[in-house]
């Protein structure tokens, strides 16, 4: 039996949280994110979906990594390879 590969995702919550991380199951009521980061502030990203498409920029504030479980999910977006690179840089200005 093989373990499902984790996908890079952007998850939003009913409490207006915006989180990037890696998940193996994305169709549940709760989602466990490995190496999750919270986007506390974003600017000039073309909205939260821009964070999934191109990732954060130098004007964003991204928190440190942690493994978390999210509830009250409003959306799950697959993150592009370009955006993953920018999330991993963890900009904070």
**Residue 74 pLDDT exceeds 60:** yes
- The answer to whether residue 22 sits within a structural domain is yes
2 occurs within a structural domain: no
| Beta-sheet pairing, 31-41 with 18-23 | antiparallel
State which residues form the domain around 24.
7-89
Name the 3-class secondary structure at 85: helix
Name the token pair of 51. Answer: 């964070």
- The pLDDT value recorded for residue 61 is 92
pTM of the model: 0.91
Question: Is residue 18 included in any domain, yes or no?
Answer: yes
How many domains would you assign to the chain? 1
pLDDT at 53: 96
Q: What is the pLDDT of residues 15-70, one digit of tens each?
A: 999 999 999 999 988 999 999 999 999 988 898 999 999 999 988 999 999 999 99
Query: Is residue 1 assigned to a domain?
Result: no
């Amino acid at each position: 039996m093989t373990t499902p590969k984790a996908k890079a995702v952007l998850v939003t919550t009913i409490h207006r949280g915006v989180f990037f991380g890696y998940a193996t199951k994305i169709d549940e009521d709760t989602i466990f994110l490995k190496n999750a980061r919270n986007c506390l502030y974003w600017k000039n990203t073309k909205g939260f979906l821009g964070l999934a498409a191109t990732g954060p920029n130098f004007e964003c504030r991204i928190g440190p990594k942690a493994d978390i479980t999210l509830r009250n999910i409003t959306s799950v977006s697959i993150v592009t390879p370009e955006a993953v690179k920018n999330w991993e840089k963890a900009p904070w200005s």
